[in-house]
Amino acid sequence: MGNLPTERVSMARPFTTAGVDFCGPIMTTYKQRGMRTTKSYIAVFVCFVGGLWEAAVKSAKYHLVRILGEAFLTFEELCTVVAEVEATLNSRPLTAMSSDPSDEAVITPGHFLTGGPLVGILEPIIESEHISNLNRWVRLTAIKQHFWKRWSSEYLYELQRKTKWTANKENVVEGDLVLVSEDNAPPKSWLIGRVTRAIKAADGYVRVVDIETKNGCIRRAIQKVASIPKPE
């Protein structure tokens, strides 16, 4: 691997050095009589270099295209969906805030952009059978929640790494900060906790853990959790 670019290792404000990539085309409509469709492109600005922004665009576009399907959105509606997707991507936990066992706070990309975590309004979970084309806000909320469900599951899977099935990996230990897979969690809401007990199977490997979270102490199989990197 070559040396990192100077821009990646120099102190600067966010987006001082930025790359631009275009996602699209995505079909949008105009709210007027004789409604017609047109192709729209999304400009994605990122403060990384080269392949990193391509990977971010690929992940977002992969799920966005699949959840939009054949739907036609107005330009304003598309902007709303993209802004929500942006917030979702920037809410992901990167590393623990500190090494204090009682501290469950994590650093996210949002901290580098706004100085704090990204939060959203708590909304009811929208079921597919309750979606009506007449209620555009409910439809946009369902699209946002569908993206969150697909992308957050993918992110958790990436943290767990496929190589764990073919190579030895260190056991989760008490005090580790972990991300817990949670069904029907609202967008940008990550369930994070500290491992209080690691339960080993007969083969000596940890298979189940007890975790202290904001919702109390829970027990999960190791496949349902992913360790969050520790600060160095």
CA 49 to chain centre: 20
* 50 against 106, higher pLDDT: 106
**8 Å CB contact between 106 and 97:** yes
* CA distance to 35, 129, 206, per residue, from 166 (Å): 55, 41, 16
**8 Å CB contact between 108 and 94:** yes
- pLDDT for residue 46: 56
- pLDDT for residue 143: 87
CB half-sphere exposure, 146, CA atoms < 13 A: 19
42 vs 88: CA distance, rounded Å? 16
Angle at 118 between CA 136 and CA 189, to 5 degrees: 75
- pLDDT for residue 128: 65
44 vs 83: CA distance, rounded Å? 11
- pLDDT for residue 18: 73
- pLDDT for residue 14: 72
* 167 against 78, higher pLDDT: 78
Residue 186: cis peptide before it, omega within 30 degrees of 0: no
Which of 225, 109, 212 is closest to 159 using CA atoms?
Answer: 225
CA 212 to chain centre: 22
What domains can be seen in the chain, in order of their start residue? 6-89+120-160 (no CATH), 162-227 (2.30.30)
Condensed to tens digits (0 to 9), the pLDDT of residues 184-206 reads 888 888 899 999 999 998 888 89
Angle between helices 75-89 and 136-160 (to 10 degrees): 30
Q: Write the DSSP symbol of residue 228.
A: P
Residue 45 pLDDT exceeds 80: no
112 vs 100: CA distance, rounded Å? 21
Residue 49 pLDDT exceeds 70: no
pTM comes to: 0.72
